[in-house]
Copies of this chain bind each other. A is one copy, B any other.
Amino acid sequence: MSGNTPNDQRRTLTLRDVSEASGVSEMTVSRVLRNRGDVSDATRERVLEAAKRLGYVPNKIAGALASQRVNLVAVIIPSLSNLVFPEVLSGISEELEESGLQPVFGVTNYSAEREEMVLYEMLSWRPSGVIIAGLEHTPAARAMLENAGIPIVEIMDVDGPVVDSVVGISHKRAGLEMARTIVRAGYRKIAFLGTKMPDDHRARKRLEGFEAGLAEAGIELVDREFYSGGSALLKGREMTEAVLSRNPEVDFLYYSNDMIGAGGLLYCLDHGIDVPGRLGLAGFNGVDLLDGLPRRLATMDACRREIGRRAAAIIAGHSESGVIGGERVELTPVLQPGDTIRQA
A24–B290 CA distance with the chains assembled, in angstroms:
61
A61 touches B (CB below 8 Å): yes
B237 and A61 form a contact (CB under 8 A): no
Q: Which of A42-50, A51-59, A174-182, A204-212 contacts B (4 or more CB under 8 A)?
A: A51-59
A338–B86 CA distance with the chains assembled, in angstroms:
29
Give chain A interface residues in 83-109, CB to chain B under 8 Å.
83, 86-87, 89-90, 93, 102, 104-105, 107
**Set B55, B143, B237: member contacting A292, Cβ < 8 A:** B237
A4–B161 CA distance with the chains assembled, in angstroms:
23
A61 and B270 form a contact (CB under 8 A): no
A233 and B144 form a contact (CB under 8 A): no
Give chain A interface residues in 283-335, CB to chain B under 8 Å.
288-294
- Besides A59-B126, A62-B65, 18 more A-B contacts (Cβ < 8 Å) are A57-B120, A57-B144, A60-B124, A60-B125, A60-B126, A61-B65, A61-B125, A61-B126, A80-B86, A81-B87, A81-B90, A83-B83, A86-B86, A234-B291, A237-B292, A266-B293, A266-B294, A269-B294
The number of residues on chain A lying at the interface, defined by a beta carbon within 8 Å of a beta carbon of chain B, is 56
A138 touches B (CB below 8 Å): no
Copies in the complex: 2
A162 touches B (CB below 8 Å): no
Q: A61-B61, A61-B70, A232-B292 are in contact. Are A55 and B144 (CB under 8 A)?
A: yes
Q: A65-B65, A80-B86, A80-B89 are in contact. Are A59 and B124 (CB under 8 A)?
A: yes
B294 and A270 form a contact (CB under 8 A): yes
Chain B minimum-CB-distance residue to A106: B102
**Set B93, B143, B231, B262: member contacting A291, Cβ < 8 A:** B231
A293–B105 CA distance with the chains assembled, in angstroms:
32
Chain B minimum-CB-distance residue to A288: B231
Distance between A27 CB and nearest chain B CB, rounded to angstroms: 19
B86 and A81 form a contact (CB under 8 A): yes
A292–B235 CA distance with the chains assembled, in angstroms:
8
A147 touches B (CB below 8 Å): yes
A194–B36 CA distance with the chains assembled, in angstroms:
46
Q: A292-B234, A293-B266 are in contact. Are A147 and B89 (CB under 8 A)?
A: no
Q: List 10 A-B contacts (CB under 8 A).
A: A10-B149, A12-B148, A12-B149, A59-B124, A61-B64, A231-B290, A233-B292, A234-B288, A234-B292, A266-B294
B237 and A266 form a contact (CB under 8 A): no
Give chain A interface residues in 137-159, CB to chain B under 8 Å.
143-144, 147-149
**Set B9, B65, B147: member contacting A149, Cβ < 8 A:** B9
Q: Tell me which residues across on chain B come within 8 A of A57, comparing CB atoms.
A: 120, 123-124, 144, 148
A233 and B120 form a contact (CB under 8 A): no
A233–B86 CA distance with the chains assembled, in angstroms:
18
A249 touches B (CB below 8 Å): no
Q: Tell me which residues across on chain B come within 8 A of A216, comparing CB atoms.
A: none
A61–B63 CA distance with the chains assembled, in angstroms:
9
